[in-house]
Amino acid sequence: MAEKLLDFNEALDRLGGDAEFLTELLYELLSQIDQNFSEIKNAIVEKKFDELKSLSHSLKGASANLNVNRLASRFLALEDLGAAKSVEGANEILELIAQDKNELKVFLSQN
C-alpha cells in the first residue's frame, strides 16, 4: 500500500484542532519547498552533497512536523543521497516531490 501523502487528522490533533492554522502551515511548507527546489536541483547537478543533505534535512523535518509523511520520506531519501555523496536516482525523487506538491495543492484547494 502506498504511503499517504498527509495524515491530516493526526496533524490536526497535534495543533489542537485548529484547521485554519494547519492549512496556513501547509501552504507555508509548499512555499518553503518552492523556494528551495531550484537550490536542491542545483546541488544535485553540481554534486554539492553537503548542500543537498542540509536542504533536504530541513524540508524533511518541516514535512514530518506537519505529518506530510510521503514528502518527508522523499526528502529523507535525498538527504541520504547527500550523506552517501551520490545523486543516483535524485532526479526521479525530485519528480515525485513535484507530484506530491501538486497533490497537496489540490488537497488544500478542496478543503
| Structural domain span for residue 23 | 8-36+55-110
- Summarize pLDDT for 39-58 with one digit per residue, the tens: 999 999 999 999 999 999 99
Task: Give the model's confidence band at 3: pLDDT under 50 very low, under 70 low, under 90 confident, else very high.
Answer: confident
- Summarize pLDDT for 54-77 with one digit per residue, the tens: 999 999 999 999 999 999 999 999
- Number of separate domains in the chain: 1
User: Using an 8 Å Cβ cutoff, are 78 and 56 in contact?
Assistant: yes
- Residue 8: partners with Cβ closer than 8 Å, 6 or more residues away: 22, 67
pLDDT at 111: 78
pLDDT surpassing 60 at residue 8: yes
Whether 46 is in a domain gets the answer no
